[in-house]
Amino acid sequence: MKKIYCLVCVLLGFAVILSSCHTKKAVMRGEPGEIVKPQASIAEKYSAILGVGESDIQNGRLYAFIDQWMGTPYKFGGEDKDGVDCSALAQLLEQQVFGVNIPRSTSQQINVIKRKYEEELAEGDLVFFDYDGKKFSHVGVYLQNGYYVHASSTKGVMITKLHDPFTYKYFSRCGSVIIQETDPSPGK
């Protein structure tokens, strides 16, 4: 009986060790456009990054999406986890999180926003930058508390403070995506 008890204890110990070594992958729940409660670990992680309370992390789909893409390397023209560029990340995020389709390139994305003042930014708004003397050459998606997510050409998908000394000097425009209404009764 003692041997069985010891064996069970050893097996339980291994199970605990193995389960604690596995990091929990964020799960996107709900449908695009739906606000769902985030997993506790996601709320804890992103509240610390953004400097807000855990209760301020409310869009579980948004932060699960970010968690799945965080650290993905930058690749010009890339659209998947092997490499993604800034405009593809913005397009995928808007589509999968908010259920909104936007064009693929920054030069087209700039045309589908309603301009806002920086102080009016809300989660999901687009923020544009002019790098290398090119207008609207970089895009990110605003989160909250002055932070945005983007695909950096040097560091991949990451979250950056809008007022970061290096990037803010290139900040050029921001706004919310204009939702295109479609006629529910085709043929009219």
Query: Do 121 and 129 contact (CB within 8 A), yes or no?
Result: no
Phi–psi pair at 186, nearest 5 degrees: -60, 150
DSSP annotation string for 51-108: TS-GGG---HHHHHHHHHHTTPPB-TT-EETTEE-HHHHHHHHHHHHH-----SSHHH
**Residue 21 is encoded by which pair of tokens?**
């070594």
Catalytic residues: 86, 138, 150
Amino acid 173 reads: R
- Beta pairing class for 156-161 and 171-177: unpaired
